[in-house]
Chain A
Amino acid sequence: MLSIVLAATLFQSQPARDSAHFSFRDIAPTSLVKFVLTNSSTPAKYQIETMISGVALFDYNNDGWLDIFFVNGASIPELRKTGPQHHNRLYRNEKNGTFTDVTERARVSGRGYGMGVAAADYNNDGYQDLYVTGVNFNQLLRNNGDGTFSDVTAKAGVEGIHPKFGKTWAISAGWFDYDNDGKLDLFVTNYVQWDPAREPDCRVNRIRTYCSPDRYEGLPNFLYHNNGDGTFTDASVESGVGLLAGKGMGVAFADYDGDGFTDIFVANDTFRNFFFRNNGNGRFTEIGVLVGVAYNDNGKSIAGMGADFRDMDNDGKPDIFVTGMVNDTFPLYRNGGKLFEDVTTRSGVARATLRLTGWSNGIFDFDNDGSKDLFAANGSILDNSWEVERLPAKLPNLILRNEGSSFRDNSPTSGEGLKTARMHRGAAFGDLNNDGRVDIVTVSLNERPEILINGSSPSNHWLTLKLTGSRSNRDGIGARIKITPQGSPPQFNHVTTSVGLSSSSDHRVHFGLGPARVIKTVEILWPSGKRQVLGDVPANQILAVTEP
């Protein structure tokens, strides 16, 4: 079954002047979004202050338009939301470039000091739910379908409490179906063992700073198996993913070897990244070192932050893009089938990222030319980095244009929206105005968000797929898609909301088509194993496809 859902252009986008440039405009000032990410920073430099990043783009009311959810902090050291300034916020998309704050009605203002968010329809009821990670509370917010959410964390058994460590400091979460049973499972990255009463006093040149992660012990991550009855079973240990302690930041999912089972990449902070290969029997094997994604090309554990796991070069094999801190460069691992190859230097990404510290990131085709580009939200870890290390605390974001075998830094020519230096953290990607171009929402410490409306290359064509699973999970998460546009090489992508760091992106799958007006074939391999092929699909539409 397929139907054309929507193809509208209601937001005013600035047309790109040149097809080789991106064009982003920040509509936040006129959007009525008043949210300010409040980290409650203190002179004592509690580590949590610098890590908060969560933002989600998801359609909570099923009106076909992406809404925005922001995660917020709390008072320190009490870790309590003492007033509206600490509330998480949900903004409904009014389809005209403005948003309405529906937090109170939706009952999503949250608990404790938040960190990240993951959106997906875990109970297959047709409404996307939220899982919010945090320092002292994680929350599963079930979407009731009537504009409200219910906190079902305890009943579901996903409070994020470890038998040995208690409530762990969770950073990111992601939904995926690791056993292809049609029910979305939940992965939660945990960072370090942290207690506000025992925050170390870290100084550089006698100036108080946030501490290196080396000063804290790492934690294992959680994997919760969805039982299908509203509850989850903690499968961390039996699956193998909970046997290793790391310093988990971003998590991203893809089937790297095409065996039909989704694998997991976890970016760790100053610790080797984890790559959990899905053995297909409910267990995972960590093979990050062996497949070449644990370290960078120089054998260094970088300060891994965000991650996207997506096919950037349309060879049918998902690649991995990770952000790190200044002097790390942001690793780009190309999937060669069995192993990954670090192409950071050869692709030009190293030179473009050497002086940046990146947080959330994504691999998307921002100019609809058929090649996926790279985006990273940047900002120093230290709010006093100028004083401490003569590096600016606020940094502009980065957009790298895919030019085939390499990437070019197009940030300075990509519009005002890409020029603002801030302490950026989270970033979520999705088509907010349904015009076929991927927009970006970023959050920055103690500032309003940026809502970057993409006006790049309006003459290029596009296709967005909104999948609905039947035997597979209803969001179609994990479905792999191959399209063959008329006159252009095939392209590949898959359904995921786990993109970047602590953030959650549009679950619809976007393709830029360049000049192609028709897609000869759209092939969907659903997580259930069902293969679906659509023929002669016209471009420039959001196509709803239901699993047969």
Chain B
Amino acid sequence: MTFALFLLLAQAQSMNAFEQHARAGECSAAAALLQKEPKAGEVPYVLLGECYSRLGKTDLAVKTLQDGLRAIPGSGVLLRALGRIRFRQDPESNEVGSLLRRAAAALPRDPEALHYYAQWAYLNNRERLCTQLERRALMLPALPEQALLQMNTLLGMCASRLDDVQTAGAAFKNAFKINQSLQVFDPGSAYQYVQFLLQSRLNTEAQSLVAELLKRSPRFGPAHLEMAKSFDHSGQPAQAIEEAQLALAGEGNTPSSIRAAHVLLAKCYFLLGKRSEAEEEQRWIESNPAFPNKGTSLGPR
């Protein structure tokens, strides 16, 4: 065995131990190893960053990745990892946008880097940028179905905001087709399609999609809420109440969908003359903080 080969093997073993620690969530042990024997390349920093992130130690994850960037300036992989973590912390920050922009520039053929930056763009009123990024990402070869689903969905959402109904409709249609073929149906993506159809006043299509969505994900709360709204619109408050209750008992709710279900319940109970139930719902609404428009999701309001 040559000395060089010996060194390489030793390094590989050490890397292996580091990787084992990092993947097992033993971040301190992995960090100690990394400090004792600094590793070449960006992968160790990413692994350790992910390790901290999984344990909820976001600050340490950020610090690790920043250390990595100091060691390997301009690394696209590190920028992407850091941008992703910081995006979860503060999706409205320009600094995060800058990290993700640099990541996308450094990794122009990396679908993840493009998609993260597109997500930031969507949340920060850069819908044109969002559609450009997702279009570029969708042209990359060999994308997994799950990625295609997410990218088409986000492309649909961004194009819809731009009032580009054609692009949005096509993207949502693509996403839904992929969704139907997946082993695990993604109700969130389909729900975005429902919202698009409703905004486009394609109410019949939206209702069929809600029905299909509930067939595949019978416990998806936001879809039950849409059913409830539909009953309410057609003057069937009792059925609306049933569906709103199913929505609340279901899965996949957001704070805003829960609130919307209570708002609908208050109204329908009032219409049916069930004043005390209506007032109980009103009390729930008032005692649970509202979710005012944060502006553009980043604006000051």
A, B co-complexed? yes
Q: What is the interface of chain A, defined by CB distance below 8 A to chain B?
A: 202, 204-205, 209-214, 270-272, 287, 289-292, 294-295, 297-303, 324-328, 336, 338-339, 341, 345-348, 350-351, 354-355, 381-382, 385, 388-391, 406
Q: What are the interface flags for B240-275 relative to A under an 8 Å C-beta threshold, 1 for contact and 0 otherwise?
A: 000000000000000011111111101100110000
The residue that A391 contacts in the complex, of B125, B199, B263, with Cβ under 8 A, is: B125
A389 near B278: Cβ-Cβ < 8 Å: no
A303 near B300: Cβ-Cβ < 8 Å: no
Q: Can you give 28 contacting A-B residue pairs, CB < 8 Å? A: A204-B92, A204-B298, A205-B92, A205-B93, A270-B290, A270-B292, A271-B290, A289-B285, A290-B266, A290-B282, A291-B270, A299-B257, A299-B260, A299-B291, A300-B293, A301-B290, A325-B293, A325-B295, A336-B235, A338-B270, A345-B199, A345-B201, A346-B203, A354-B161, A381-B301, A389-B125, A389-B298, A390-B124
Closest Cβ neighbor of A270 among chain B residues: B292
Contacts of B8 in A (CB 8 A): none
Chain B interface SS verdict (over half): helix
CB distance from A354 to the nearest CB of B (A): 7
Q: What are the interface flags for B282-299 relative to A under an 8 Å C-beta threshold, 1 for contact and 0 otherwise?
A: 100110001111011111
B266 near A298: Cβ-Cβ < 8 Å: no
B229 near A338: Cβ-Cβ < 8 Å: no
A300 near B285: Cβ-Cβ < 8 Å: no
Query: Beyond the given A299-B264, A325-B295, A351-B200, could you list 20 further A-B residue pairs with CB under 8 A, ordered by the A residue number?
Result: A209-B300, A211-B300, A212-B295, A289-B285, A290-B279, A292-B267, A299-B258, A299-B259, A299-B262, A303-B301, A326-B296, A327-B295, A338-B270, A345-B201, A350-B199, A354-B161, A382-B299, A390-B124, A390-B125, A391-B125
Contacts of A336 in B (CB 8 A): 235
Contacts of A291 in B (CB 8 A): 267, 270
Question: Does B198 touch A at the CB level, under 8 Å?
Answer: yes
The residue that B296 contacts in the complex, of A271, A272, A298, A327, with Cβ under 8 A, is: A327
3 nearest CB pairs, A to B: A299-B260, A299-B259, A270-B292
Contacts of A350 in B (CB 8 A): 199
The residue that A345 contacts in the complex, of B198, B260, B262, B300, with Cβ under 8 A, is: B198
A210 near B295: Cβ-Cβ < 8 Å: no
Contacts of B299 in A (CB 8 A): 204, 325-326, 381-382, 385, 388-389, 391
Q: How far is the CA of A345 from the CA of B160 in the complex (A)?
A: 13
Closest Cβ neighbor of A354 among chain B residues: B161
Question: Does B112 touch A at the CB level, under 8 Å?
Answer: no
Q: How far is the CA of A300 from the CA of B257 in the complex (A)?
A: 9
CB distance from B101 to the nearest CB of A (A): 13
Contacts of B258 in A (CB 8 A): 299
